[in-house]
Amino acid sequence: MMRTGLNIRVLLSTLLISLGALGDLKVYALSARQLADNKISKKQFDGNIEVWWSSELLPDSHSPVWYTNPPDPSEIRYKLDHHTELKWKKSVKPAGPVIRVNPDKTYQTVLGIGTSLEATTLYAIKKNRSEEEIREILKLLIDPDHGMGFNLFRITIGTSDFSDGRTVSTHPKGFYSYQDNSEAEFSIQPDIDLGIVDMLKLTADVAANLDPPQEIKFTAACWSPPGWMKTSGTLIGGTLKSGYEKHLAGYFRKFIEAYAAEGIPIYAITIQNEPNYLPKDYPGMMLTPEQEMAVVVAAYENFHSNLSDKDELQTKIWINDHNFEDWVNADYILTALEKMGKKHYVDATAFHNYTPFPASNMSKLHQKHPHTDIQLTEHSEWGVAGMRNIQQYFQNWSRSYMYWVTMTTKKLDEHNQGPYNRLGELSPTLLIEKNSFSPEWYVTPEYYLISQFSKFIRPGAIRINCDKGSDANVTFVAFKNLDNSIVLVGVNQTKKSRTFTVKYNEKMFSASLAAKCIGTYRWQE
Protein backbone atom coordinates (compact mmCIF):
# COMPACT_ATOMS: atom_id res chain seq x y z
CA MET A 1 0.00 0.00 0.00
CA MET A 2 1.02 3.62 -0.25
CA ARG A 3 1.93 4.61 3.27
CA THR A 4 1.67 8.07 4.78
CA GLY A 5 4.08 10.82 3.92
CA LEU A 6 5.30 10.60 7.52
CA ASN A 7 6.71 7.15 6.79
CA ILE A 8 8.17 7.75 3.34
CA ARG A 9 10.83 10.17 2.19
CA VAL A 10 9.18 12.13 -0.59
CA LEU A 11 11.28 14.46 -2.69
CA LEU A 12 8.98 15.89 -5.29
CA SER A 13 8.45 18.70 -7.69
CA THR A 14 6.10 19.17 -10.59
CA LEU A 15 5.82 20.13 -14.20
CA LEU A 16 2.58 21.64 -15.51
CA ILE A 17 1.40 20.16 -18.80
CA SER A 18 -1.56 21.54 -20.64
CA LEU A 19 -3.72 18.90 -22.26
CA GLY A 20 -6.36 21.09 -23.83
CA ALA A 21 -6.06 19.41 -27.22
CA LEU A 22 -4.16 16.18 -26.84
CA GLY A 23 -4.40 15.36 -30.50
CA ASP A 24 -1.81 18.08 -31.11
CA LEU A 25 1.69 17.32 -29.87
CA LYS A 26 2.15 21.03 -29.17
CA VAL A 27 0.18 20.55 -25.95
CA TYR A 28 3.43 19.44 -24.36
CA ALA A 29 5.13 22.78 -24.97
CA LEU A 30 5.24 23.60 -21.25
CA SER A 31 7.51 20.60 -20.70
CA ALA A 32 10.38 22.64 -22.17
CA ARG A 33 10.23 20.36 -25.19
CA GLN A 34 11.29 17.42 -23.01
CA LEU A 35 8.80 14.99 -24.45
CA ALA A 36 10.09 15.75 -27.93
CA ASP A 37 13.75 16.32 -27.13
CA ASN A 38 14.04 13.17 -25.05
CA LYS A 39 13.21 10.80 -27.85
CA ILE A 40 15.74 7.97 -27.78
CA SER A 41 17.66 8.26 -30.99
CA LYS A 42 17.49 5.37 -33.42
CA LYS A 43 20.74 6.53 -35.02
CA GLN A 44 23.62 4.14 -35.32
CA PHE A 45 25.91 4.39 -32.34
CA ASP A 46 29.02 6.37 -33.19
CA GLY A 47 31.16 5.02 -30.38
CA ASN A 48 30.50 7.85 -27.94
CA ILE A 49 28.68 7.74 -24.62
CA GLU A 50 25.20 9.26 -24.58
CA VAL A 51 24.23 11.08 -21.37
CA TRP A 52 20.89 12.06 -19.79
CA TRP A 53 20.27 13.83 -16.45
CA SER A 54 17.22 14.37 -14.26
CA SER A 55 17.00 16.08 -10.87
CA GLU A 56 14.82 16.27 -7.79
CA LEU A 57 13.66 19.54 -6.31
CA LEU A 58 12.22 20.07 -2.84
CA PRO A 59 13.51 18.51 0.40
CA ASP A 60 10.11 18.48 2.12
CA SER A 61 9.22 14.81 1.94
CA HIS A 62 5.54 15.06 2.91
CA SER A 63 4.39 18.54 1.98
CA PRO A 64 0.85 18.85 0.58
CA VAL A 65 2.14 21.49 -1.82
CA TRP A 66 2.17 18.97 -4.65
CA TYR A 67 -1.61 18.86 -4.50
CA THR A 68 -2.28 22.44 -3.43
CA ASN A 69 0.27 24.75 -5.04
CA PRO A 70 2.85 22.91 -7.16
CA PRO A 71 6.06 24.79 -8.03
CA ASP A 72 6.70 26.31 -11.41
CA PRO A 73 8.23 23.80 -13.86
CA SER A 74 11.19 26.08 -14.49
CA GLU A 75 12.40 25.29 -10.99
CA ILE A 76 13.28 21.74 -11.99
CA ARG A 77 16.89 21.87 -13.17
CA TYR A 78 17.07 18.72 -15.27
CA LYS A 79 14.23 16.83 -16.93
CA LEU A 80 15.79 13.97 -18.90
CA ASP A 81 18.17 16.52 -20.38
CA HIS A 82 20.32 15.04 -23.14
CA HIS A 83 23.85 16.25 -22.40
CA THR A 84 26.89 16.46 -24.62
CA GLU A 85 28.15 13.02 -25.53
CA LEU A 86 31.32 11.81 -23.86
CA LYS A 87 34.24 10.24 -25.70
CA TRP A 88 36.21 7.14 -24.86
CA LYS A 89 39.92 7.38 -24.23
CA LYS A 90 42.53 4.68 -23.92
CA SER A 91 43.69 6.16 -20.67
CA VAL A 92 42.75 9.09 -18.47
CA LYS A 93 43.96 10.39 -15.16
CA PRO A 94 41.17 9.19 -12.88
CA ALA A 95 38.85 11.92 -11.64
CA GLY A 96 37.17 10.64 -8.50
CA PRO A 97 36.53 6.92 -7.93
CA VAL A 98 37.05 4.46 -10.78
CA ILE A 99 33.92 2.50 -11.65
CA ARG A 100 34.72 -0.70 -13.51
CA VAL A 101 31.99 -2.14 -15.74
CA ASN A 102 32.41 -5.80 -16.64
CA PRO A 103 29.88 -7.15 -19.20
CA ASP A 104 31.31 -10.66 -18.93
CA LYS A 105 29.92 -11.17 -15.43
CA THR A 106 26.12 -11.29 -15.56
CA TYR A 107 23.22 -11.66 -13.15
CA GLN A 108 19.42 -11.64 -13.62
CA THR A 109 17.49 -10.60 -16.69
CA VAL A 110 15.01 -7.73 -16.43
CA LEU A 111 11.32 -8.54 -16.72
CA GLY A 112 10.49 -4.86 -16.75
CA ILE A 113 9.65 -1.62 -14.99
CA GLY A 114 6.15 -0.30 -14.50
CA THR A 115 3.39 0.96 -12.28
CA SER A 116 -0.09 0.20 -11.01
CA LEU A 117 -3.32 0.66 -12.90
CA GLU A 118 -5.59 0.25 -9.91
CA ALA A 119 -9.09 1.78 -9.80
CA THR A 120 -8.08 5.20 -8.44
CA THR A 121 -5.47 5.69 -11.16
CA LEU A 122 -7.75 4.53 -13.97
CA TYR A 123 -10.52 6.85 -12.82
CA ALA A 124 -8.12 9.81 -12.72
CA ILE A 125 -6.71 9.08 -16.18
CA LYS A 126 -10.09 8.88 -17.86
CA LYS A 127 -11.85 11.70 -15.98
CA ASN A 128 -12.89 14.65 -18.20
CA ARG A 129 -11.07 13.18 -21.20
CA SER A 130 -11.91 11.86 -24.62
CA GLU A 131 -10.53 8.52 -25.76
CA GLU A 132 -7.88 10.34 -27.77
CA GLU A 133 -6.76 12.27 -24.69
CA ILE A 134 -6.68 9.10 -22.60
CA ARG A 135 -4.57 7.40 -25.24
CA GLU A 136 -2.03 10.22 -25.12
CA ILE A 137 -1.54 9.73 -21.38
CA LEU A 138 -1.19 5.97 -21.78
CA LYS A 139 1.33 6.52 -24.57
CA LEU A 140 3.44 8.62 -22.21
CA LEU A 141 3.50 5.74 -19.76
CA ILE A 142 4.32 3.05 -22.33
CA ASP A 143 6.27 4.59 -25.22
CA PRO A 144 10.03 4.28 -24.61
CA ASP A 145 10.79 6.92 -27.24
CA HIS A 146 8.41 9.72 -26.21
CA GLY A 147 7.45 8.58 -22.73
CA MET A 148 8.52 6.48 -19.77
CA GLY A 149 8.73 3.08 -21.44
CA PHE A 150 6.77 1.15 -18.79
CA ASN A 151 5.95 -2.44 -19.71
CA LEU A 152 4.58 -3.89 -16.44
CA PHE A 153 1.18 -2.93 -15.01
CA ARG A 154 -0.11 -4.18 -11.66
CA ILE A 155 -3.86 -4.46 -11.37
CA THR A 156 -6.13 -5.63 -8.56
CA ILE A 157 -8.37 -8.67 -8.21
CA GLY A 158 -11.47 -6.94 -6.89
CA THR A 159 -11.30 -4.07 -4.41
CA SER A 160 -8.04 -2.65 -3.07
CA ASP A 161 -7.30 0.26 -0.75
CA PHE A 162 -7.27 2.56 -3.80
CA SER A 163 -10.72 2.04 -5.22
CA ASP A 164 -14.30 3.24 -5.06
CA GLY A 165 -17.10 0.90 -6.08
CA ARG A 166 -19.97 2.77 -4.46
CA THR A 167 -21.84 2.87 -7.78
CA VAL A 168 -21.72 -0.93 -8.09
CA SER A 169 -21.77 -2.08 -4.47
CA THR A 170 -24.05 -1.67 -1.46
CA HIS A 171 -21.07 -1.44 0.84
CA PRO A 172 -20.79 2.14 2.21
CA LYS A 173 -17.25 2.43 0.83
CA GLY A 174 -17.94 0.47 -2.32
CA PHE A 175 -15.88 -2.59 -1.46
CA TYR A 176 -16.78 -5.63 -3.59
CA SER A 177 -15.62 -9.02 -4.79
CA TYR A 178 -16.66 -10.91 -7.92
CA GLN A 179 -18.83 -13.30 -5.93
CA ASP A 180 -20.17 -11.61 -2.81
CA ASN A 181 -22.02 -14.71 -1.63
CA SER A 182 -21.43 -18.41 -2.23
CA GLU A 183 -24.70 -18.84 -4.16
CA ALA A 184 -24.06 -16.00 -6.59
CA GLU A 185 -22.48 -16.46 -10.01
CA PHE A 186 -18.93 -15.24 -10.45
CA SER A 187 -18.86 -12.00 -12.45
CA ILE A 188 -16.38 -9.22 -13.22
CA GLN A 189 -19.33 -6.98 -14.10
CA PRO A 190 -18.35 -4.48 -11.35
CA ASP A 191 -15.02 -3.94 -13.12
CA ILE A 192 -16.86 -3.53 -16.43
CA ASP A 193 -19.38 -1.06 -15.00
CA LEU A 194 -16.61 0.99 -13.36
CA GLY A 195 -14.75 1.25 -16.67
CA ILE A 196 -11.74 -0.69 -15.37
CA VAL A 197 -11.93 -3.37 -18.06
CA ASP A 198 -12.28 -0.86 -20.91
CA MET A 199 -9.33 1.16 -19.61
CA LEU A 200 -7.09 -1.90 -19.42
CA LYS A 201 -8.15 -2.97 -22.91
CA LEU A 202 -7.30 0.52 -24.11
CA THR A 203 -3.89 0.26 -22.45
CA ALA A 204 -3.19 -2.97 -24.31
CA ASP A 205 -4.38 -1.42 -27.55
CA VAL A 206 -2.15 1.63 -27.13
CA ALA A 207 0.88 -0.62 -26.59
CA ALA A 208 0.03 -2.75 -29.62
CA ASN A 209 -0.31 0.28 -31.88
CA LEU A 210 2.91 2.07 -31.03
CA ASP A 211 5.66 2.10 -33.62
CA PRO A 212 7.18 -0.33 -32.98
CA PRO A 213 4.53 -2.19 -30.95
CA GLN A 214 5.39 -2.66 -27.29
CA GLU A 215 4.75 -5.85 -25.34
CA ILE A 216 3.23 -5.17 -21.93
CA LYS A 217 2.35 -7.52 -19.08
CA PHE A 218 -0.45 -7.32 -16.51
CA THR A 219 0.16 -8.76 -13.06
CA ALA A 220 -2.74 -9.06 -10.62
CA ALA A 221 -2.89 -9.05 -6.83
CA CYS A 222 -5.73 -10.09 -4.54
CA TRP A 223 -6.46 -7.89 -1.50
CA SER A 224 -9.22 -10.17 -0.23
CA PRO A 225 -11.20 -13.19 -1.35
CA PRO A 226 -15.00 -12.97 -0.99
CA GLY A 227 -16.11 -12.74 2.62
CA TRP A 228 -17.83 -16.13 2.56
CA MET A 229 -14.41 -17.76 2.14
CA LYS A 230 -13.02 -16.02 5.23
CA THR A 231 -13.27 -16.39 8.99
CA SER A 232 -14.38 -12.75 9.29
CA GLY A 233 -17.28 -13.25 6.88
CA THR A 234 -16.39 -9.94 5.20
CA LEU A 235 -13.75 -8.50 2.88
CA ILE A 236 -12.10 -6.82 5.87
CA GLY A 237 -10.14 -8.84 8.41
CA GLY A 238 -9.91 -12.52 9.16
CA THR A 239 -8.12 -15.26 7.31
CA LEU A 240 -9.00 -17.98 4.81
CA LYS A 241 -11.29 -20.67 6.21
CA SER A 242 -9.71 -24.08 6.52
CA GLY A 243 -10.55 -26.21 3.50
CA TYR A 244 -11.27 -23.23 1.24
CA GLU A 245 -7.98 -23.32 -0.65
CA LYS A 246 -9.58 -24.93 -3.70
CA HIS A 247 -12.44 -22.41 -3.59
CA LEU A 248 -9.92 -19.58 -3.75
CA ALA A 249 -7.97 -21.32 -6.51
CA GLY A 250 -11.19 -21.60 -8.52
CA TYR A 251 -11.88 -17.91 -7.87
CA PHE A 252 -8.47 -17.02 -9.32
CA ARG A 253 -9.11 -19.20 -12.38
CA LYS A 254 -12.44 -17.54 -13.04
CA PHE A 255 -10.85 -14.09 -12.77
CA ILE A 256 -8.06 -15.01 -15.19
CA GLU A 257 -10.49 -16.57 -17.67
CA ALA A 258 -12.93 -13.65 -17.47
CA TYR A 259 -10.18 -11.10 -18.08
CA ALA A 260 -8.71 -13.18 -20.91
CA ALA A 261 -12.15 -13.24 -22.53
CA GLU A 262 -12.01 -9.42 -22.49
CA GLY A 263 -8.61 -9.44 -24.19
CA ILE A 264 -6.59 -8.82 -21.01
CA PRO A 265 -4.13 -11.68 -20.42
CA ILE A 266 -2.85 -12.01 -16.85
CA TYR A 267 0.88 -12.77 -16.80
CA ALA A 268 1.09 -13.50 -13.07
CA ILE A 269 -0.94 -13.34 -9.88
CA THR A 270 0.15 -12.94 -6.29
CA ILE A 271 -1.75 -15.15 -3.85
CA GLN A 272 -2.37 -12.36 -1.33
CA ASN A 273 -1.36 -8.72 -1.14
CA GLU A 274 0.59 -8.16 2.10
CA PRO A 275 -0.41 -11.42 3.83
CA ASN A 276 1.32 -10.44 7.08
CA TYR A 277 -0.73 -7.27 7.63
CA LEU A 278 -4.35 -7.14 8.77
CA PRO A 279 -5.94 -3.84 7.65
CA LYS A 280 -8.82 -2.56 9.76
CA ASP A 281 -10.39 -0.23 7.21
CA TYR A 282 -9.97 -1.81 3.78
CA PRO A 283 -10.06 -5.32 2.27
CA GLY A 284 -7.32 -7.69 3.33
CA MET A 285 -6.53 -10.81 5.31
CA MET A 286 -3.64 -12.54 7.00
CA LEU A 287 -2.18 -15.80 5.77
CA THR A 288 0.40 -17.94 7.50
CA PRO A 289 3.15 -19.38 5.31
CA GLU A 290 1.46 -22.76 5.66
CA GLN A 291 -1.85 -21.34 4.43
CA GLU A 292 -0.22 -19.51 1.54
CA MET A 293 1.60 -22.67 0.48
CA ALA A 294 -1.68 -24.60 0.54
CA VAL A 295 -3.28 -21.99 -1.73
CA VAL A 296 -0.24 -22.13 -4.06
CA VAL A 297 -0.66 -25.89 -4.43
CA ALA A 298 -4.39 -25.60 -5.02
CA ALA A 299 -3.98 -22.78 -7.54
CA TYR A 300 -1.15 -24.35 -9.53
CA GLU A 301 -2.92 -27.69 -9.74
CA ASN A 302 -6.13 -25.94 -10.77
CA PHE A 303 -4.32 -23.93 -13.45
CA HIS A 304 -2.55 -27.00 -14.82
CA SER A 305 -5.35 -29.53 -14.43
CA ASN A 306 -5.51 -32.15 -17.17
CA LEU A 307 -9.25 -32.53 -16.81
CA SER A 308 -11.03 -32.26 -20.13
CA ASP A 309 -13.34 -29.49 -18.96
CA LYS A 310 -10.51 -27.09 -18.09
CA ASP A 311 -7.95 -25.33 -20.24
CA GLU A 312 -4.44 -25.13 -18.88
CA LEU A 313 -3.62 -21.64 -17.65
CA GLN A 314 -0.10 -20.28 -18.14
CA THR A 315 -0.51 -17.51 -15.56
CA LYS A 316 2.44 -17.57 -13.16
CA ILE A 317 2.12 -17.69 -9.38
CA TRP A 318 4.05 -15.27 -7.14
CA ILE A 319 4.18 -15.50 -3.36
CA ASN A 320 4.78 -13.13 -0.43
CA ASP A 321 3.98 -9.73 -2.02
CA HIS A 322 5.16 -8.11 1.21
CA ASN A 323 8.17 -6.55 2.90
CA PHE A 324 11.83 -7.54 2.90
CA GLU A 325 11.77 -9.10 6.38
CA ASP A 326 9.15 -11.54 5.12
CA TRP A 327 11.72 -13.34 3.02
CA VAL A 328 11.76 -16.00 5.75
CA ASN A 329 8.14 -16.88 4.94
CA ALA A 330 8.99 -17.25 1.28
CA ASP A 331 11.99 -19.39 2.25
CA TYR A 332 9.68 -21.64 4.27
CA ILE A 333 7.22 -22.03 1.38
CA LEU A 334 9.88 -22.68 -1.25
CA THR A 335 11.74 -25.15 0.96
CA ALA A 336 8.57 -27.06 1.80
CA LEU A 337 7.48 -27.17 -1.84
CA GLU A 338 10.91 -28.42 -2.86
CA LYS A 339 10.63 -31.32 -0.42
CA MET A 340 7.26 -32.13 -2.02
CA GLY A 341 8.74 -31.98 -5.52
CA LYS A 342 6.59 -28.93 -6.25
CA LYS A 343 8.99 -26.00 -6.08
CA HIS A 344 8.22 -25.19 -9.73
CA TYR A 345 4.71 -24.24 -8.63
CA VAL A 346 6.10 -20.81 -7.64
CA ASP A 347 7.57 -18.62 -10.36
CA ALA A 348 8.71 -15.73 -8.16
CA THR A 349 8.74 -14.12 -4.75
CA ALA A 350 7.33 -10.60 -4.76
CA PHE A 351 8.42 -7.84 -2.38
CA HIS A 352 7.30 -4.42 -1.11
CA ASN A 353 9.44 -1.89 0.75
CA TYR A 354 7.52 -0.30 3.63
CA THR A 355 9.74 -1.15 6.60
CA PRO A 356 13.38 -0.33 7.39
CA PHE A 357 14.66 -3.82 6.63
CA PRO A 358 17.26 -3.90 3.82
CA ALA A 359 16.80 -4.95 0.22
CA SER A 360 19.72 -7.33 0.80
CA ASN A 361 17.17 -9.75 2.29
CA MET A 362 16.19 -10.47 -1.31
CA SER A 363 19.74 -11.63 -1.90
CA LYS A 364 19.49 -13.94 1.11
CA LEU A 365 16.45 -15.55 -0.48
CA HIS A 366 18.16 -15.74 -3.87
CA GLN A 367 21.16 -17.50 -2.37
CA LYS A 368 18.91 -20.19 -0.92
CA HIS A 369 16.58 -20.47 -3.93
CA PRO A 370 18.51 -19.22 -6.99
CA HIS A 371 16.06 -20.70 -9.50
CA THR A 372 13.02 -18.80 -8.20
CA ASP A 373 12.73 -15.24 -9.49
CA ILE A 374 12.42 -12.13 -7.34
CA GLN A 375 10.11 -9.21 -8.22
CA LEU A 376 9.60 -5.77 -6.62
CA THR A 377 5.84 -5.33 -7.04
CA GLU A 378 5.02 -2.28 -4.92
CA HIS A 379 6.71 0.83 -3.62
CA SER A 380 6.59 4.40 -4.86
CA GLU A 381 9.97 6.12 -4.99
CA TRP A 382 10.70 9.83 -4.83
CA GLY A 383 13.78 11.95 -5.32
CA VAL A 384 17.31 10.65 -5.72
CA ALA A 385 17.03 8.67 -2.48
CA GLY A 386 14.23 6.73 -4.14
CA MET A 387 16.33 6.22 -7.26
CA ARG A 388 19.03 4.75 -5.05
CA ASN A 389 16.39 2.34 -3.75
CA ILE A 390 15.61 1.22 -7.29
CA GLN A 391 19.32 0.59 -7.87
CA GLN A 392 19.37 -1.62 -4.78
CA TYR A 393 16.33 -3.59 -5.87
CA PHE A 394 18.13 -4.62 -9.03
CA GLN A 395 21.44 -5.12 -7.22
CA ASN A 396 19.64 -7.62 -4.98
CA TRP A 397 18.25 -9.76 -7.79
CA SER A 398 14.86 -8.23 -8.47
CA ARG A 399 13.80 -8.64 -12.08
CA SER A 400 11.38 -5.71 -11.89
CA TYR A 401 10.31 -2.50 -10.22
CA MET A 402 6.68 -1.36 -10.01
CA TYR A 403 5.54 2.03 -8.75
CA TRP A 404 2.29 2.22 -6.74
CA VAL A 405 -0.61 4.55 -7.74
CA THR A 406 0.15 6.40 -10.96
CA MET A 407 -2.34 9.28 -10.93
CA THR A 408 -4.79 10.99 -8.58
CA THR A 409 -7.50 13.59 -8.84
CA LYS A 410 -7.11 16.93 -7.11
CA LYS A 411 -9.83 15.95 -4.65
CA LEU A 412 -8.06 13.01 -3.08
CA ASP A 413 -11.12 11.08 -1.88
CA GLU A 414 -13.08 11.53 -5.11
CA HIS A 415 -12.49 7.95 -6.19
CA ASN A 416 -10.54 6.51 -3.27
CA GLN A 417 -12.41 5.06 -0.30
CA GLY A 418 -9.35 3.58 1.37
CA PRO A 419 -7.54 5.28 4.27
CA TYR A 420 -4.92 7.05 2.15
CA ASN A 421 -7.21 9.64 0.60
CA ARG A 422 -6.45 12.97 2.25
CA LEU A 423 -3.60 15.45 2.54
CA GLY A 424 -0.87 14.19 4.81
CA GLU A 425 -1.84 10.59 4.11
CA LEU A 426 -1.59 10.30 0.34
CA SER A 427 1.87 10.93 -1.04
CA PRO A 428 2.10 12.61 -4.47
CA THR A 429 1.87 10.41 -7.55
CA LEU A 430 3.58 10.52 -10.95
CA LEU A 431 0.64 12.38 -12.52
CA ILE A 432 -1.82 14.70 -10.77
CA GLU A 433 -5.02 16.33 -11.97
CA LYS A 434 -4.58 20.10 -12.26
CA ASN A 435 -8.18 20.91 -11.32
CA SER A 436 -11.51 19.15 -11.09
CA PHE A 437 -13.10 20.64 -14.21
CA SER A 438 -10.68 20.22 -17.12
CA PRO A 439 -8.46 17.57 -18.70
CA GLU A 440 -5.30 19.40 -17.61
CA TRP A 441 -2.74 17.63 -15.45
CA TYR A 442 0.88 17.85 -14.42
CA VAL A 443 3.75 15.52 -13.60
CA THR A 444 6.06 15.35 -10.62
CA PRO A 445 9.84 15.12 -11.16
CA GLU A 446 9.56 11.37 -10.62
CA TYR A 447 8.19 11.15 -14.16
CA TYR A 448 11.71 12.05 -15.30
CA LEU A 449 13.69 10.39 -12.51
CA ILE A 450 12.16 6.94 -12.99
CA SER A 451 12.36 7.32 -16.76
CA GLN A 452 16.15 7.35 -16.37
CA PHE A 453 15.72 3.62 -15.71
CA SER A 454 12.63 2.63 -17.67
CA LYS A 455 13.40 4.39 -20.98
CA PHE A 456 16.84 2.85 -21.26
CA ILE A 457 16.80 -0.48 -19.43
CA ARG A 458 14.54 -2.50 -21.66
CA PRO A 459 12.80 -5.85 -21.07
CA GLY A 460 15.24 -8.70 -21.55
CA ALA A 461 18.24 -6.64 -20.47
CA ILE A 462 20.67 -8.44 -18.23
CA ARG A 463 22.30 -6.87 -15.22
CA ILE A 464 26.09 -6.84 -15.55
CA ASN A 465 28.82 -6.38 -13.02
CA CYS A 466 29.98 -2.93 -12.07
CA ASP A 467 31.43 -1.23 -9.01
CA LYS A 468 28.56 0.11 -6.92
CA GLY A 469 30.26 3.36 -5.93
CA SER A 470 29.24 4.97 -2.64
CA ASP A 471 26.48 7.12 -1.17
CA ALA A 472 29.13 9.74 -0.38
CA ASN A 473 29.85 10.09 -4.09
CA VAL A 474 27.81 8.38 -6.82
CA THR A 475 26.19 4.92 -6.81
CA PHE A 476 25.87 2.78 -9.92
CA VAL A 477 24.09 -0.17 -11.50
CA ALA A 478 24.69 -1.46 -15.05
CA PHE A 479 22.80 -3.47 -17.67
CA LYS A 480 23.24 -4.87 -21.16
CA ASN A 481 20.21 -4.63 -23.45
CA LEU A 482 19.26 -7.13 -26.14
CA ASP A 483 20.57 -4.68 -28.76
CA ASN A 484 24.01 -4.89 -27.07
CA SER A 485 23.80 -1.37 -25.69
CA ILE A 486 25.30 -0.91 -22.23
CA VAL A 487 23.35 1.25 -19.76
CA LEU A 488 25.00 2.62 -16.63
CA VAL A 489 22.76 4.49 -14.16
CA GLY A 490 24.42 6.73 -11.56
CA VAL A 491 22.74 8.47 -8.60
CA ASN A 492 24.25 11.44 -6.76
CA GLN A 493 22.43 11.96 -3.45
CA THR A 494 24.92 14.54 -2.20
CA LYS A 495 24.64 18.33 -2.22
CA LYS A 496 27.66 18.75 -4.51
CA SER A 497 28.57 17.82 -8.04
CA ARG A 498 30.62 14.63 -8.04
CA THR A 499 33.20 13.33 -10.49
CA PHE A 500 34.01 9.74 -11.38
CA THR A 501 35.81 7.68 -14.00
CA VAL A 502 34.35 4.67 -15.80
CA LYS A 503 36.56 1.86 -17.05
CA TYR A 504 35.04 -0.51 -19.59
CA ASN A 505 37.20 -3.18 -21.21
CA GLU A 506 40.36 -1.31 -22.20
CA LYS A 507 38.92 2.20 -22.43
CA MET A 508 37.82 4.91 -20.04
CA PHE A 509 35.90 8.15 -19.65
CA SER A 510 35.60 10.69 -16.85
CA ALA A 511 32.43 12.58 -16.03
CA SER A 512 30.66 14.61 -13.39
CA LEU A 513 27.09 14.38 -12.11
CA ALA A 514 25.31 17.38 -10.60
CA ALA A 515 24.07 17.43 -7.01
CA LYS A 516 20.78 15.62 -6.29
CA CYS A 517 20.70 14.14 -9.80
CA ILE A 518 20.46 10.83 -11.58
CA GLY A 519 22.45 10.25 -14.77
CA THR A 520 22.10 7.56 -17.42
CA TYR A 521 25.10 6.71 -19.61
CA ARG A 522 24.59 4.56 -22.68
CA TRP A 523 27.03 3.16 -25.21
CA GLN A 524 27.28 0.28 -27.64
CA GLU A 525 29.22 -2.82 -26.64
Among the listed ranges 59-68, 69-78, 166-175, which one has the minimum average pLDDT value?
Answer: 59-68
259-287 pLDDT, tens digit per residue, is 999 999 999 999 999 999 999 999 999 99
Residue 47 pLDDT > 50:
yes
Residue 391 contacts residue 489 (beta carbons within 8 Å): yes
Instruction: Please give the DSSP secondary-structure letter assigned to residue 345.
Output: G
**131-142 helix and 119-126 helix, angle to the nearest 10 degrees:** 130
CB 105 within 8 A of CB 465: yes
Going 154 to 160 to 162 to 166, the CA torsion angle's sign is positive
What number is the average pLDDT over the span 464-473? 98
pLDDT of residue 380: 96
Q: Which amino acid is at 280?
A: K
Which pLDDT belongs to residue 25? 26
For 21, phi and psi rounded to 5 degrees?
Answer: -145, 80
pLDDT at 62: 61
Residue 10 has pLDDT above 60, yes or no: no
Q: Left, alpha or beta for 99 (phi > 0: left; psi -120 to 50: alpha)?
A: beta
What's the pLDDT tens digit per position in 341-359? 999 999 999 999 999 999 9
- Of 301-310, 350-359, 394-403, the poorest mean pLDDT is in 301-310
- The predicted-structure confidence for 70-112, as pLDDT tens digits, reads as follows 887 778 899 999 999 999 999 888 889 999 999 999 999 999 9
- Determine the Cα–Cα distance for residues 204 and 215; give it in Å rounded to an integer: 9
Q: What is the pLDDT of residue 92?
A: 86
Q: How confident is the model at residue 196 (pLDDT cuts 50, 70, 90)?
A: very high
Average per-residue pLDDT in the chain? 91
Residue 5 has pLDDT above 70, yes or no: no
pLDDT band at 59 (very low <50, low <70, confident <90, very high): confident
Instruction: Name residues whose C-beta falls within 8 Å of residue 209's C-beta, 6 or more positions apart in sequence.
Output: none
Say if residue 19's pLDDT is above 80: no
Query: 308: helix, coil or strand?
Result: coil
Tell me the helix, strand and coil percentages in the chain, rounded to 5: 25, 25, 50
Q: Could you say which DSSP state residue 89 is in? A: B
